[in-house]
Chains A and B, each alone.
Chain A
Amino acid sequence: GQQLNQSPQSMFIQEGEDVSMNCTSSSIFNTWLWYKQDPGEGPVLLIALYKAGELTSNGRLTAQFGITRKDSFLNISASIPSDVGIYFCAGPSPYFGNEKLTFGTGTRLTIIP
């Protein structure tokens, strides 16, 4: 089935660094969602994007809905230890039915002491 490709797969950074990750698809999406999942917990919604070109911030997090509607980006500024986890992009694609969420492969963020 359809899969969203996220890159990088994993990141190892030092506290205080900025982080950038992206999500791409071969088909268009109407909505882009970014979730964070901590070990042993369910995904938590961070940011929702509803319009091509939209740039939305949530604290130190900023996400953008790509103009082509086939990609999205998430940036984290000045990373802190609690940013560690797996970040998933997700979205409903008209190709698969507008209400079914497809999840990306995830980006695992690790902070090196």
Chain B
Amino acid sequence: EAGVAQSPRYKIIEKRQSVAFWCNPISGHATLYWYQQILGQGPKLLIQFQNNGVVDDSQLPKDRFSAERLKGVDSTLKIQPAKLEDSAVYLCASSRFSGQPQHFGDGTRLSIL
């Protein structure tokens, strides 16, 4: 089966600009996750969707980050405006159902100048 697809692979922007990332999960996977992975650390969950509804966004900085999964399939994560500390890899993962092992995409590496 095809894996989790993410784009772009790399993005370089200046602080205060906006950026958006896209994720297409594995077909049939109801649960989709966005993680932030800062260099040298493990991934940290930002938001979890079950179909098109948000299950957990407790660690999403809502003043600048937003995410949607309107049709319950692919998803976008947006940062507006970006700050220097947002430099990280943004990973998308999906699982068949919540609580099942998660499968990760290769991530988008974001650099803020």
Interface residues of A (CB under 8 A from B): 1, 4, 33, 35, 40-45, 48, 88, 90, 92, 97-101, 103-106
Q: Which residues of B contact A106 (CB under 8 A)?
A: 40-42
Categorize the interface residue count of chain B.
20 to 34
Q: Are A103 and B42 in contact (CB under 8 A)?
A: yes
Q: Which residues of B contact A35 (CB under 8 A)?
A: 104
Interface residues of B (CB under 8 A from A): 4, 33, 40-45, 48, 55-56, 59, 91, 93, 98-99, 101-107, 109
Residue among B42, B43, B102, B104 having the largest count of chain A Cβ atoms under 10 Å: B42
Number of A-B pairs, beta carbon distance below 8 Å? 49
Minimum-distance CB pairs A-B, first 3: A103-B42, A42-B104, A99-B98
Find the B residue at minimum CB distance from A104: B42
Q: Check A103/B99 contact, CB under 8 A, given A42-B91, A43-B104, A44-B104.
A: no
Q: Are B102 and A45 in contact (CB under 8 A)?
A: yes
